[in-house]
């Protein structure tokens, strides 16, 4: 359980991606169970005068860091097989230490436990406390909309609408904020559109549950305008059908059914087909012309979503061998790593925003010079910038002689987690050496030594089989 406290707050970019993914899957939130290694054995919590009910005043004297740490350890000794008991134990800790520096971490743990225990009221109450600490947290805002919207009372749904409206305001504000330096304009724009679409959709769903179909339709249309998707189009069709707006329902269902889906769900498509057919027949008394409508809508969506669909088709997806990757030079021409099979390949992963990468690139050229006459060694400077527009000018300014290529997923395949990172691949594409970070005093000497070792190893005769 203690490991749960090691998880820090995610960056805004990661939050947006998470919400976008959940939005496209039509699920607002996803929570995983505690890993087995995080669970503590069952143990009784030793009663303490300070472990008081919520309405009892905290201890009058300030607690020491050691007292707080010991109290938290004792609170966590309660078996996580009984999440309600563990929640109570952690809440008692917060009553005893209301100013704890670990307050947010403890609250997040209670929040996760409440979700696991299927206790939406406790989860919502805890999320509201967390929101006081992070007022613009999109994860918490969307979670509160979902948790409160699931409760069948008007007051909870009204609160859900309020949080959804805050979520929308946050998403609209984000749209005018400057992008982070490591994200391209295109990607930043797409992420913002996804967040706005999600925000409007979650509020629209609450309006629908509250019986306000007119406002639900308005939010669904705002969501589709920001970032079209099949789930929102289907929801819009459902709302329109309930209001007897047959033309709007047919249009929305046709969009949902014809939407180019990366991973179609056959049962969902069957249901959509029935909804579309029913609405169409109610207006035209037969399905004559329905096929033409679907084909026309499909063509329309492919045209309007061309750039978005192209982004889905990423190069090298599913390729398991680095020597099967095809990379791209700055001028757009291809580099096939298959051409390096049988050679020693030195790959320097870098980005324009990485300060040490600039120096490592210069030092790498010293190493490359030492092997200039050796055709069995190849060097590549592999760029991982999301915004490629800034790369050519950077390379021109640095005047690098090392060939520069774009990573196109090679960094993920080879597990590059930080920059700069240099890898040496042997003739079979296996990683013979890896170094993350830069020590300027030893970098060139170390890499040259490792290249020579890899050359010697590759030229050694294979041991005779017995």
Which of 276, 304, 332 represents a domain boundary (last residue)?
304
How many other CB atoms sit within 10 Å of the CB of residue 144? 26
195 and 285 assigned to the same domain: yes
Reference 330, options 261, 379, 239, 402; nearest CA is: 402
Domain finish residue from 304, 335, 359: 304
Q: Quick check: 127 and 97 in contact, CB under 8 A? A: no
**Tokens of residue 104, six digits:** 């947010």
Q: Tens digits of per-residue pLDDT, 400-443?
A: 999 999 999 999 999 999 999 999 999 999 999 999 999 999 99
Strands annotated E in 72-117:
none
Please, what sign has the CA dihedral across residues 184, 186, 187, 192? positive
Phi, psi torsion values for 117, nearest 5 degrees: -85, 5
pLDDT at 262: 66
- The domain spanning residue 103 has which CATH number? 1.25.40.10
CB 199 within 8 A of CB 171: yes
Structural domain includes residue 141: yes
Kindly state whether residues 147 and 290 are assigned to the same domain: yes
- Domain span holding position 216: 2-304
| Domain co-membership, 300 together with 341 | no
- Estimate to the nearest angstrom the gap between the alpha carbon of 280 and the chain centroid: 38
Inside any domain, residue 376: yes
Question: Domain for residue 244, yes or no?
Answer: yes
Q: What is the CATH number of the domain that holds 342?
A: 3.40.30.10
Does a structural domain hold residue 317? no
Q: Residues 262, 362: one domain? A: no
The residue with tokens 């329309």 is 300
Tokens of 272: 């959509």
- Residue 312, domain member (yes or no): no
Residue 311 inside a domain? The answer is: no
List Cα–Cα distances, 79 to 44, 89, 104, 120, in angstroms: 9, 10, 21, 21
Whether the CB-CB separation of 425 and 322 falls below 8 Å is answered with: yes
Would 125 be classed as within a structural domain?
yes
> Looking at residue 62, what is its pLDDT?
61
* Per-residue pLDDT, 82: 81
Pair 339, 251 in one domain: no
Q: Record the pTM.
A: 0.61
Number of domains, the chain: 2
Pairing mode, strands 404-406 and 431-436: unpaired
DSSP per-residue codes, 365-389? HHHHHHTTT-TTEEEEEEE--S-GG
pLDDT of 390: 87
Continuous segment of H or E residues that includes residue 137? none
Closest Cα partner for 172 from 145, 203, 144?
A: 203
Same domain, yes or no, for 383 and 283?
Answer: no
Q: Does 315 map to a domain?
A: no
Same domain (yes/no): 239, 363: no
Give the residue from 252, 274, 304 where a domain finishes: 304
Q: What's residue 136's pLDDT? A: 83
- Spatial strand order of the sheet with 431-436 comes to 334-336, 326-329, 404-406, 377-383, 344-350, 421-425, 431-436
What is d(CA 123, CA 143) in angstroms, rounded to the nearest whole number?
9
Instruction: For residue 346, give the nearest of 365, 332, 333, 362 by alpha carbon.
Output: 365
Say if residue 236 is in the same domain as residue 373. Answer: no
Q: Do 280 and 399 fall within a single domain?
A: no
pLDDT of residue 403: 96
**239/215 Cα distance (integer angstroms):** 10
pLDDT value at residue 313: 58
Going through 297-440 in order, the beta strands assigned E by DSSP cover: 326-329, 334-336, 344-350, 377-383, 404-406, 421-425, 431-436
Mean pLDDT score across all residues of the chain: 83
Residue 29, CB half-sphere, CA atoms under 13 Å: how many?
Answer: 21
Cα–Cα distance between 33 and 22 in angstroms, integer?
17
Per-residue pLDDT of the chain (466 residues; tens, 9 = 90+): 443 333 333 333 444 443 443 333 332 222 222 232 333 333 333 333 333 344 444 544 566 788 888 889 888 887 667 888 899 999 999 999 999 999 999 999 999 989 888 888 999 999 999 999 999 888 899 899 999 988 888 999 999 999 999 999 999 998 888 888 767 777 788 889 999 999 999 999 999 999 999 999 999 999 999 999 999 999 999 999 999 999 999 999 999 999 987 666 788 889 999 999 999 999 999 999 999 999 999 999 999 988 777 666 568 877 889 999 999 999 989 999 999 999 999 999 999 999 999 999 999 999 999 999 999 999 999 999 988 888 999 999 999 999 999 999 999 999 999 999 999 999 999 999 999 999 999 999 999 999 999 999 987 654 444 3
Are residue 358 and residue 222 in the same domain, yes or no? Answer: no
CB atoms within 10 A of CB 412: 12
Assess whether 330 and 247 both reside in one domain: no
Task: Tell me how long the chain is.
Answer: 466
Tell me, yes or no, whether 299 and 363 share the same domain. no
């Amino acid at each position: 359980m203690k490991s749960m406290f090691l998880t820090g707050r995610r960056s805004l970019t990661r939050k947006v991606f998470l919400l976008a993914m959940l939005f496209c899957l039509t699920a607002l939130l996803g929570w995983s169970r505690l890993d087995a290694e995080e669970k503590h054995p069952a143990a009784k919590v030793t009663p303490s005068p300070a472990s008081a009910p919520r309405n009892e005043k905290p201890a009058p004297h300030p607690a020491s860091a050691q007292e707080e740490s010991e109290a938290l350890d004792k609170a966590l000794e309660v078996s996580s097989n009984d999440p309600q008991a563990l929640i109570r134990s952690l809440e008692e800790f917060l009553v005893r230490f209301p100013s704890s520096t670990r307050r947010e971490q403890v609250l997040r743990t209670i929040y996760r436990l409440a979700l696991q225990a299927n206790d939406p009221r406790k989860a919502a109450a805890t999320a509201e406390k967390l929101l006081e600490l992070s007022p613009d947290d999109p994860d918490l805002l969307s979670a509160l909309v979902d948790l409160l919207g699931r409760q069948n009372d008007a007051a909870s749904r009204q609160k859900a609408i309020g949080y959804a409206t805050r979520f929308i305001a946050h998403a609209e504000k984000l749209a005018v904020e400057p992008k982070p330096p490591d994200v391209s304009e295109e990607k930043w724009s797409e992420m913002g559109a996804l967040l706005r679409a999600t925000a409007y959709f979650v509020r629209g769903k609450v309006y629908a549950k509250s019986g306000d179909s007119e406002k639900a339709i308005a939010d669904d249309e705002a969501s589709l305008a920001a970032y079209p998707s099949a789930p929102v189009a289907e929801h819009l069709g459902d709302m329109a059908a309930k209001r007897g707006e047959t033309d709007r329902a047919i249009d929305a269902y046709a969009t949902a059914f014809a939407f180019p889906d990366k991973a179609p769900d056959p049962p969902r498509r069957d249901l959509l087909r029935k909804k579309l057919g029913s609405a169409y027949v109610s207006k035209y008394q037969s399905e004559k012309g329905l096929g033409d409508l679907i084909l026309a809508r499909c063509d329309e969506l492919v045209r309007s979503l061309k750039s978005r669909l192209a982004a889905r088709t990423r190069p090298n997806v599913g390729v398991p061998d680095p020597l099967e990757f095809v990379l791209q030079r700055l001028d757009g021409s291809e580099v096939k790593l298959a051409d390096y099979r049988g050679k020693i390949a030195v790959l320097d992963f870098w980005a324009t925003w990485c300060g040490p990468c600039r120096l490592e690139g210069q030092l790498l050229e010293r190493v490359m010079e030492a092997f200039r006459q050796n055709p069995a060694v190849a060097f590549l400077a592999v760029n991982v910038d999301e915004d490629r527009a800034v790369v050519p000018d950077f390379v021109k300014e640095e005047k690098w002689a090392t060939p520069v290529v774009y990573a196109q997923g090679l960094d993920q395949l080879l597990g590059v987690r930080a920059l700069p990172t240099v890898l040496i691949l042997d003739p079979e594409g296996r990683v013979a050496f890896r170094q993350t970070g830069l020590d300027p005093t030893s970098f060139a000497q170390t890499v040259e030594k490792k290249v020579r070792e890899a050359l010697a190893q590759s030229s050694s005769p294979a041991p005779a089989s017995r």
